Structure 1
Amino acid sequence: MPERDDAEREFDLKWADNAEHKEPSARARMLAARWKHNPPGPVPFRAEPEGQRAPRRSSWISTAVVLGCVAALIVLIGYINFRAPY
C-alpha cells in the first residue's frame, strides 16, 4: 500500500503544480489588501538604514589591499620553498 500512496501523492503534486490558477500565499494576500488602500512609497535599490551609513572607501584602495596581500603571500611561499631543504 505505501507504494500506491506515494504514487497518488506524486500525482497530486504534479496536478497541483500544473494548475492554471494558483492561489497567492497568505502574506501576498495581506500585502495586496494593505497596499490597496495605502500603497508603499518608492524605495531606492539597496537603501541604507538611516543612521547606519558606513564610511565609503574608494574601490582602488580595496583593490590595492587585496593585490598587496596576494603579492605578500606569493613572496612568502617563494621564500619558504627557497629555504626548504631538498
Structure 2
Amino acid sequence: MSERDDDQREFDIKWADGAEHKEPSARARMLAARWKENPPAPQPFRADPDPVKPRRSSWTSTAVVLGCVAAVIVLLGYVNFRAPY
C-alpha cells in the first residue's frame, strides 16, 4: 500500500465521520420496528431478576477459615515433631 492510498483512506474516513446523517445499525432498525408494534414494558433501573437467597453468616465463613488454618498448623507441627533429625 502506498502513501497516497493511506492519504486517500484517511480522507474517506474524515468524509464519512463528517456526514450529517448517519444511518442506524441493523439491530437498531430491527428493535425500532419491533417496538413500534409491541413496545417493551418499563423496567426499573438495573432490575434484579430474582430475589437473592440469604447467605450463610459471615461468622460461619470466618470459623471455617480459622479452623482450616489451625488444622494445617497442627498437621505441620505433628509432621515436624515426628520427623527424624
Query: With structure 2 as the length reference, what TM-score do the two structures score?
Result: 0.58
Within-5 A mapping of 1:4-83? 4-51=4-51, 53=52, 55=54
Deviation at residue 54 of structure 1 after TM alignment: 5.2
Which residue type is aligned with residue 32 of structure 1?
Answer: A
Count of residue pairs brought into register by the alignment: 55
Aligned alpha-carbon RMSD (Å): 1.9
Unpaired segments of 5 or more residues in structure 2? Answer: 55-85
Change (3 A) 1:10 1:54: farther
Query: With structure 1 as the length reference, what TM-score do the two structures score?
Result: 0.58
Q: % of aligned pairs identical?
A: 76
Larger radius of gyration: 2
Moved over 3 A (4+): none
Unpaired segments of 5 or more residues in structure 1? Answer: 56-86
State how far apart, in whole Å, the 2-side matches of 1:54 and 1:9 are: 56
1:52-80 superposed Cα distances (whole Å, 9 cap, x missing partner): x255xxxxxxxxxxxxxxxxxxxxxxxxx
